[in-house]
Amino acid sequence: MFSEADALSLVGEEILGSGRRYFEAGKVGPLTVSSGGNTVNAMVSGTRPRPYATVVTFPVTDSGWDRPLMTMCSCPVAGNCKHGAAVLFALLNRPEHQETEAPPSSWLHETDHGLSGFFPTEISAAPAIDRIPPWERMLSRIAATTHDHPATAELALQFELLDPKKHRVSRARARAGKSSNARFRLGIRPVMRAESGNWVRTGVTWSKLKTPEIREQVDAAQLDWFRTIDSLANATDPESYYYTDASWIMLDTFDSPLLWTLLEQAQALGIPLLNTKKTAPPVGIEYEGASIAVNTVAGPRGLNLRPRVSLGGADLDATNVGYLGSPAHGLFTWHGDGDALKTYRVTLARLDEPLSEPVKALLTQAKPVNIPNRDAAKFTDEHLPLLQRAVRVVSTDQSIHITERAKPRLVLGLQSVDTASADTISAADALELSWRWEYVDAHGSTADASAAPGANGTSQPVTAVHTRDPKAERAIIAGLRIPYPRYPSLIEAANKTAGDSAAAGESITVGGSGAASGPAPSGFAPVSMADGSPATLHASAQLTGMQMVTFLVDEVPRLEALGGIRIERDPAIPEFRESVNPAEVTLSINERDDSRDWFDLVAAVSVDGEQVPFEWLFVALANDEKYLVLPSGTFCSLTDERFQRLRALIEEARKLGEIHGDTVSISRFQAGLWGEFEELGIITKQVDAWQQLVSGLANHSSIQQQPTAEGFTAKLRPYQQEGYDWLTFLYENGLGGVLADDMGLGKTIQTLALITGQQNATPDPFLVVAPTSVVANWASEAAKFAPRLKVVALEGTVARNKTDLADLIGDADIVLTSYALFRIDFDRYEELQWAGLILDEAQFAKNHQSSTYRAARLLSAPFKLAITGTPMENNLMELWSMFSITAPGLFGSPAHFTDYYQKPIEKEGNGERLDQLKRRIRPLMLRRTKELVATELPPKQEQVLTLNLNPSQRAIYDTYLQRERQKVLGLMDDLDGNRFQIFRSLTLLRQAALDVSLVDAEHTGVASTKIDALADMLQEIVAEGHRTLIFSQFTSFLGSVRDRLDAEGIRYEYLDGATTKRANVIRNFREGDAPVFLISLKSGGFGLNLTEADYCILLDPWWNPAAEAQAVDRTHRIGQTRQVMVYRFVAKNTIEEKVMALKAGKDKLFESVMGDGDMTSTKLTADDIRGLLE
């Protein structure tokens, strides 16, 4: 199949653009393919009432249609036009294997000349290639030629001179002034060779050639040729086509110049061109050498205007000449004796220039046009110049002096303009362009045209030149082929004022980047844009910057080489040249004396040895310029990919740091950003402190391994040792980070190793902030693995303890507190010195508008560490919160992060921005998964159990669903304002899917499908000796489960937010023999190590997948020796199934940032809520 590039090479950029617009506007009718597969036909709507008949010709290969050879059309252009380009686009955009359609019935006519036969009846797509191997298909074709097949009849085209009185021109054509005064008309019709060898017209007419059965009788390629002639005749002269003798097509009204292409094809296809009589000589075809002139000769009563027709250098008898088409593109002449017209020799010849209808009427007058002697001067002064514009004028008897017409020449003036701009960087500030016309006569004398041609094409007076030649001027303008969209100040769109353009935000009039500001210039000449839309070329305009340079470098030399244009160039305009070598950019980094947290990034640029301020380069890149222009006139290309990457990196660095000329301050946390600078290969100097810092962050394996302190008793696994080394590196370099290992991999132990290792290096304690339920676990782990550390676990506020915080802490090495106490007594914590701040389950500080976040952000500490297995649960802003605490300066402001990362990734699916975000956080976040580092951990088997609600529960649930759906949908117009009420309704539906008695006590007697299923499952699990963790978000539902377990005689432990002796309950389960542990998801979803259990049941799904994962990892963690079975109960056809779908989306976002997955948005939108209620 051919490509769009093939179409471009055939018709050119402008025509292809117009064809695209025609195709997209639906102007292309159904496509039909010839039986031979080499031509495609379509009717294309244009500017005239009737559509144009368009034909595209291809060479057919084994792979289908190859590059198109040409397009033919009944429009005035005749071929390789926008209508043909539109058909090419229609072919390129057809669905694969789609068959083309037959033409609509509205195109068919009852007359003998109906179009029904023009379109092949066997409609097909591009020639199908069967599954036969190419070699076999090739040999089969050769073999087929040796078989005996019925011979197909030959076709020929017969010409005949016809009497105009019997074959009249249509009334419509006559009214349009297109009737001919020629003695004869020229008709054509198909004939067929009979078995006798004679050419006969019996059984073959133009209408017969449209019927399906004819295809079996004649050569297919010849048949397609005849049908093309027929369709073009209909399109170019429909009146004559339908209302004259159907036996003939009249060539004198055949307006399409494609006739000559078809006649050439006829010879290639072996179609004879015959006269009517067998004894008559064949019809002659001359494709060049025919010319027409008006011969002005003296007569007895003044000047006579006679036609002078030449063919091959010989003059013809003008009375024996007729003309083809209007405007005439050819002529036909005849030679013979007597009235036996069928024996005359007929010759067709193509004119070297088209002949307008008025000129044709002048030349076919019965008598020469006479100009009386008294009017001779008026003729030569006023009318002769006008006549010369339309046709060549000669005087064979030299009765008048014929002066060759002065020809127009376009003058382009180029003037250097000094704008006196303070920030200019080029040798010429601006370039002023001006256009004007001058006329050049045969002797080389010139005269300036004083005015532009009128919009209606009429001529206007010019000094020393008789008349303007708008047609020639338009041809010169069309030949300029300036890419106007690159230079918008040169033109103005049609029917737009400068104000309209400005209001539309378009760079049409002068102004903006690359164009000097000023009033809109006057119109000079109409031009056509690449897409076919009209515009006006301004009489003058200004260009600046690279628009000026590219015009001088690219356009001016090309224009100078064109004919019909002269350029006047100001000598002050410099000779711009492209640099020999690309721009060299070097970056170096220096320590700052005033801050250990910031370094100075210094940039330098040189082009061919010329030093350039970096600001110039950055401005050029920011404006998406293709070149950088220097004061010397040298310019260098900026199209190299590394410059685009450099622009993005510098822009990011500028937004995150301070700017001082060519220096940008860069934070010590920007190791990922610096790594991308290094990849560009432009780093020349790094201070040792920075190099050491970046090297360690970029490559964790290069960090020096640290021995554990003497008082640390745990034996670290290899990945835990790596984590301890990384934490030590961060601490000793004053950096913070995020330890984001999977839950159950020992993040607490790695952090305790760090604290133990720094115990003697700092007199200040580490502050560990954790959820209330986890504080006791920290104390237990510290006592077990770091017994030499003095640990103080704070209980209650300072006010409640009635003791100063410093006195409570004493000489502790670790201070443990809850998020609530930290928030309440923040001012007291801020008064003390800390070795570091450690946030366990740091997702508690994910909301950057919460007081917990503000306390963590504002606390003064040289080292801050966030510990969490889920650094992001719902959206990317949570990630920003985490790093703004531990690595301030990494991402800048929340607004910048939202615009630069969150919106492009979550809403637009920008993969490049996602990859960039990963690179930024990678040096400061350490995350390992259990699959990667804990391969000895038994597998985790997860299963979703879909339960059908029992009939009673289903009926009640459906009642609630209908009621709450109507209520919620009525609140959706103000989602934010009604969020509380909406989520209350969603919660009610979730409870009804568990146990309808949770919604209303009057349903207490209705059985819960999930409790029944749980009881049945536990009977088997307990009997087999397994232990089970059961989670629910609703403590009221856990209460119902307790009642059922009591009734079943199954022992259990219970933990929720109201449990006062939490540690005792956990210890009872771990050391006791109760087979079941009932836990509320919020209270027991983190901070617990319950590897004694090997079954985990989640009774209700939640749209936060991280919370569920944390719950499961209470048992699937280091220390587990058995396979863990995880079951999720989901009620079928309830809101729970919708919640599972939402949860999958949030899982995908987490994986996209933390792993290698794709991204998706996870914000609970109005559509999400509607989906929950479907």
Q: What is the pLDDT of residues 793-851, one digit of tens each?
A: 998 898 888 889 999 999 999 999 999 999 999 999 999 999 999 999 898 888 888 88
Question: What amino acid occupies position 286?
Answer: E
Phi, psi of 192 (to 5 degrees): -130, 145
Chain mean pLDDT for the chain: 78
pLDDT surpasses 50 at 228: yes
What pLDDT sits at residue 708?
92
**Model confidence band, residue 630 (pLDDT cutoffs 50, 70, 90):** confident
Do 507 and 544 touch, CB atoms closer than 8 A?
A: no
What pLDDT sits at residue 171?
79
Residues 6 or more apart in contact with residue 745 via CB below 8 angstroms: 719, 720, 928, 930, 933, 934, 1117, 1118
Highest mean pLDDT among 39-53, 951-965, 1038-1052: 1038-1052
| Residue 1017 CA neighbour count, 13 Å, CB half | 23
Per CATH, the number for 700-933 is 3.40.50.10810
Distance CA 517, CA 520 (A): 9
Q: Same CATH fold, 940-1172 and 700-933? A: yes
pLDDT surpasses 80 at 255: yes
Mean pLDDT, rounded, for 1073-1098: 82
**Model confidence band, residue 114 (pLDDT cutoffs 50, 70, 90):** very low
Per residue in 720-735, pLDDT (tens digit) is 999 999 999 889 888 8
pLDDT surpasses 90 at 1036: yes
Q: What is the 3-state secondary structure (H, E, C) of 690-759?
A: HHHHHHHHHCHHHCCCCCCCCCCCCCCCHHHHHHHHHHHHHHHCCCCEEECCCCCCCHHHHHHHHHHHCC
What pLDDT sits at residue 765?
95
What pLDDT sits at residue 128?
37
**Model confidence band, residue 682 (pLDDT cutoffs 50, 70, 90):** very low
Question: What's the CATH fold of domain 940-1172?
Answer: Rossmann fold (3.40.50)
Mean pLDDT, rounded, for 1016-1024: 86
Mean pLDDT, rounded, for 1051-1066: 86
Mean pLDDT, rounded, for 397-403: 86
What pLDDT sits at residue 758?
92
**Model confidence band, residue 109 (pLDDT cutoffs 50, 70, 90):** very low
Query: Which one, of 316, 304, 390, 306, lies nearest residue 347 by Cα?
Result: 316
What pLDDT sits at residue 1161?
36
Cis-peptide into 408, omega within 30 deg: no
What pLDDT sits at residue 131?
46
Domain boundary assignment for the chain: 4-144, 155-274, 287-394, 407-574, 578-698, 700-933, 940-1172
The more confident residue out of 241 and 1038 is 1038
What pLDDT sits at residue 689?
46
Strands 610-612 and 683-686: unpaired
- C-alpha R_g of the chain: 45
Distance CA 617, CA 143 (A): 69
Q: Name the least confident of 104-113, 225-234, 608-617.
A: 104-113
The more confident residue out of 1171 and 375 is 375
What pLDDT sits at residue 161?
92
Do 751 and 727 touch, CB atoms closer than 8 A?
A: yes
**Model confidence band, residue 308 (pLDDT cutoffs 50, 70, 90):** very high
Query: Which one, of 182, 214, 22, 128, lies nearest residue 230 by Cα?
Result: 214
What pLDDT sits at residue 501?
36
What pLDDT sits at residue 997?
93
Q: Is 1032 exposed, middle or buried (0-12, 13-18, 19+ CB in 10 A)?
A: buried
At CA 307, angle to CA 301 and CA 308, rounded to 5?
120
Query: Which one, of 1047, 988, 1025, lies nearest residue 1173 by Cα?
Result: 988
**Model confidence band, residue 663 (pLDDT cutoffs 50, 70, 90):** low
Query: Which one, of 386, 419, 441, 576, lies nearest residue 511 by Cα?
Result: 419
Distance CA 225, CA 984 (A): 76
pLDDT surpasses 60 at 661: no
Mean pLDDT, rounded, for 1143-1161: 51
pLDDT surpasses 60 at 685: no
The more confident residue out of 661 and 980 is 980
What pLDDT sits at residue 694?
53
Per residue in 501-543, pLDDT (tens digit) is 333 333 222 222 333 333 334 578 888 887 778 889 999 999 9
Distance CA 31, CA 41 (A): 6
The more confident residue out of 920 and 905 is 905
Do 253 and 237 touch, CB atoms closer than 8 A?
A: yes
What pLDDT sits at residue 1082?
78
Give me the residue label for tokens 């990678």.
922
pLDDT surpasses 80 at 188: yes
**Torsion, CA 560, CA 561, CA 564, CA 568, rounded to 10:** 10
Do 495 and 508 touch, CB atoms closer than 8 A?
A: no
What pLDDT sits at residue 791?
94
Coil, strand or helix: which one is 286?
A: strand
What pLDDT sits at residue 62?
55
DSSP structure class, residue 488: G
Q: Name the least confident of 605-614, 816-825, 946-955.
A: 605-614
pLDDT surpasses 50 at 102: no
Q: Name the least confident of 625-629, 782-786, 814-818, 1097-1101.
A: 625-629
User: Which pair of tokens denotes residue 714?
Assistant: 């745990």
What pLDDT sits at residue 271?
92
Do 532 and 17 touch, CB atoms closer than 8 A?
A: yes
Mean pLDDT, rounded, for 892-900: 81
Q: Which long-range contacts (CB under 8 A, 24 or more apart) does 235-239 make?
A: 235/50, 235/51, 235/52, 235/53, 235/74, 236/74, 236/325, 237/170, 237/173, 238/50, 239/170, 239/171, 239/172, 239/173
pLDDT surpasses 70 at 1173: no
| Residue 64 CA neighbour count, 13 Å, CB half | 12
What pLDDT sits at residue 65?
66
Q: Name the least confident of 1-10, 409-418, 923-932, 1085-1094.
A: 1085-1094
DSSP conformation letters of 518-548: -PPPPEEEEEE-TTS-EEEEESEEEEEHHHH
pLDDT above 70: percentage of residues in the chain: 78
Per residue in 256-276, pLDDT (tens digit) is 888 999 999 998 888 999 988
The more confident residue out of 991 and 425 is 991
Mean pLDDT, rounded, for 877-885: 88
**Model confidence band, residue 187 (pLDDT cutoffs 50, 70, 90):** very high
Per residue in 117-129, pLDDT (tens digit) is 333 333 333 333 3
Phi, psi of 360 (to 5 degrees): -60, -40
What pLDDT sits at residue 1072?
86
The more confident residue out of 889 and 732 is 732
Per DSSP, the chain holds a count of helices (H) and strands (E) of: 40, 49
Mean pLDDT, rounded, for 965-977: 73
The more confident residue out of 872 and 429 is 872
